[in-house]
Chain A
Amino acid sequence: MSNPYTQSDYRDELRAQHTEPLLPIEKKLIAWSLGIGLVLLVVLALVNHFYPPGT
């Protein structure tokens, strides 16, 4: 089945979409994701350092 949307549809959509303030839940999502991600990366980097590939 082909895509039903036209260029005009996309253009109208992009024009119509509006700015919304960041909700507290969004700020939490961003902060927690980034925070957990950075901590886990540091942990994995330490594992990588003490157990390099091939060991």
Chain B
Amino acid sequence: MSNASLTEVSPHSVAEAARISEDWLAVILGLAIFVLGLATIVHVDLIGWVVNTSIWSNINQALGPASKSYASLGGVGALMATYVALTVVLSVGAAALGSDVKKFALAFTAVFWIAYASWIVGNYANFAAVTPADQQKFGVSWSLRLTNEGAYIFALLAGLAIANFLPRFAVAIKEAVRPELYIKVAIVILGGFFAVTAAGKLSFASSLLLRGVAAIIEAYLIYWSVVYFIARKWFGFSREWSAPLAAGISICGVSASIAIGGAIRARPIVPALVSSLVLVFAVVEVLILPFAAQTWLSHQPLVAGAWMGLAVKTDGAAVASGAITESLILAKNAAEGVHYQPGWILGTAATVKVFIDIFIGVWAFVLGYIWTNYINVTPAADKARLREIWERFPKFIVGFVITFAIGLYLALGAPADIAKTVPAAIGEANTFRVIFFILTFFSIGVLSNFKALWQEGFGKLAAVYAVSLFGFVIWVGLLISWIFFNGVTPPLAS
């Protein structure tokens, strides 16, 4: 069995025929789902047919539509409806991105069914049931206690198995392996969900934003400068390599390395290779850090959430790690009789990561200015320009801010009879958010070819990653999270 080329399954580059960027597509899709979900406020249930999976011991009880209004559809019907709807909508999106629609639809069929099947398996009671009462309810004598969200790991493992043992199949489905798109859609939807969560404790939530500022300072000024020094001085990488590499390890693996690579006028091959290795290391973090957080930080839940946002260096893996961490920590505390309100740990991880993403354009401009004026001096026409800050700004954050603002308004500013329907409305959109998380986890797995680490010449690159990430970024991230979130606990569930 031949190994797939490193580049045959790799993060998508923007197609030349694209009518829209991936970021704006994510904004449109996320907003559409969010708005359709809000229709329940006026008693019109437009997306309640979306499939929801519960922990199960009897497979007939695993699936069901998210809303009782669609109960007649049944679990399998809801699953089919979800598959058809997502295939159609995402295929239209693929066309807008300039991709081959037929190839995408076929690939997405495989991606959806494998990923969702993994999710269903992961929700089996022997894997997911947490408390002794739950185990008794489901009639199982033991459980791994991974919780409902722990099933994301199953989707990740399925993707990893395909990447590393079925490389030809990984190449065959690559059109629909788009973790960045899926997580961006999920983050846009998450904005509304977090707004409703935060609405109940607004002063607490706003103070958390200050802590997000600390994350920006850490990622750009501290992480990037140290990792750049390590790459340049300890490992002898050139400037062209070190700047995107430091961005990928410190800020955000894919988008930051591409943005910084572009800003310093590096050749495209540099960020392309950096991006491919980022995912491998992000997967290792996703498999270890949430469980480490549950073991040692279960009584410091927001330290754990912030740690995920600071230490895991792709949007997909960071936010998804936040979801797993929240589930594990809430379950552990619930077993001890402490019931925290859900959403805060995930929200903290997502907010920290979003704050870091906001400044990619600014840092790219700063480095671009330095490079084009002092290091590789370029003609005036090619110098860094202020407009690059907007050009490199991750547009999906606009969607996150919009859904957050709408959710906050509805929860706080709308009449009481409307405000009380908002959580349920957001809940249906949130079911889609879970599905996009599943697709993200699976896609991250498919793109993570661990054999890349052993390719000739890659050792030094992997060593920079390993030394920087596991020797510095993770621990400083934990320290900063501790300084700012130590003793801060989420509100208790009402």
User: Which residues of A come within 8 Å of B, CB atoms?
Assistant: 1-7, 9-11, 13-15, 17-20, 22-23, 25-26, 29-30, 33-34, 36-38, 40-41, 44-45, 47-48, 51-55
B interface, over-half SS: helix
On whether A38 and B236 interact (CB within 8 A), knowing A10-B457, A14-B460, the answer reads no
**B6 surroundings in chain A (CB, below 8 A):** 5-7, 10
Is B70 in contact with chain A by the CB < 8 A criterion?
no
Q: How far is the CA of A9 from the CA of B222 in the complex (A)?
A: 32
On whether A34 and B238 interact (CB within 8 A), knowing A25-B375, A52-B488, the answer reads no
Which B1-35 residues have a C-beta within 8 angstroms of A? 5-8, 10-16
On whether A11 and B457 interact (CB within 8 A), knowing A5-B272, A44-B213, A51-B207, the answer reads yes
Q: Are A44 and B375 in contact (CB under 8 A)?
A: no
**A41 surroundings in chain B (CB, below 8 A):** 214, 217-218, 222, 480
On whether A37 and B225 interact (CB within 8 A), knowing A10-B457, A14-B458, the answer reads yes
Apart from A1-B12, A5-B7, A48-B214, what 9 extra A-B contacts exist at CB < 8 Å?
Answer: A7-B6, A7-B455, A10-B269, A13-B273, A14-B460, A25-B375, A26-B228, A41-B218, A53-B211
**B211 surroundings in chain A (CB, below 8 A):** 48, 53
**A55 surroundings in chain B (CB, below 8 A):** 203, 207
**B461 surroundings in chain A (CB, below 8 A):** 14
Is B265 in contact with chain A by the CB < 8 A criterion?
no
Q: In angstroms, how far is the closest chain A Cβ from the Cβ of B74?
A: 40
- Size range of the chain B interface in the assembly: 35 or more
Q: How far is the CA of A51 from the CA of B455 in the complex (A)?
A: 51
Is B450 in contact with chain A by the CB < 8 A criterion?
no
Looking across the interface, which residue of chain B has its beta carbon closest to that of A33? B225
Q: Are A1 and B5 in contact (CB under 8 A)?
A: no
A-B contact pairs, 6 of them (CB 8 A): A9-B7, A14-B458, A19-B236, A33-B220, A37-B217, A44-B210
**B213 surroundings in chain A (CB, below 8 A):** 44
**B203 surroundings in chain A (CB, below 8 A):** 54-55
Q: Are A3 and B13 in contact (CB under 8 A)?
A: yes
Q: How far is the CA of A7 from the CA of B452 in the complex (A)?
A: 9
Q: Are A3 and B207 in contact (CB under 8 A)?
A: no
Q: In angstroms, how far is the closest chain A Cβ from the Cβ of B461?
A: 6
Looking across the interface, which residue of chain A has its beta carbon closest to that of B4? A7
On whether A30 and B225 interact (CB within 8 A), knowing A1-B98, A25-B374, the answer reads yes
**A40 surroundings in chain B (CB, below 8 A):** 217, 221
Q: Are A19 and B238 in contact (CB under 8 A)?
A: yes
Q: Are B7 and A3 in contact (CB under 8 A)?
A: yes
**A30 surroundings in chain B (CB, below 8 A):** 225-226, 228-229
Q: How far is the CA of A3 from the CA of B275 in the complex (A)?
A: 12
On whether A53 and B204 interact (CB within 8 A), knowing A5-B7, A45-B483, the answer reads yes
Is B456 in contact with chain A by the CB < 8 A criterion?
yes
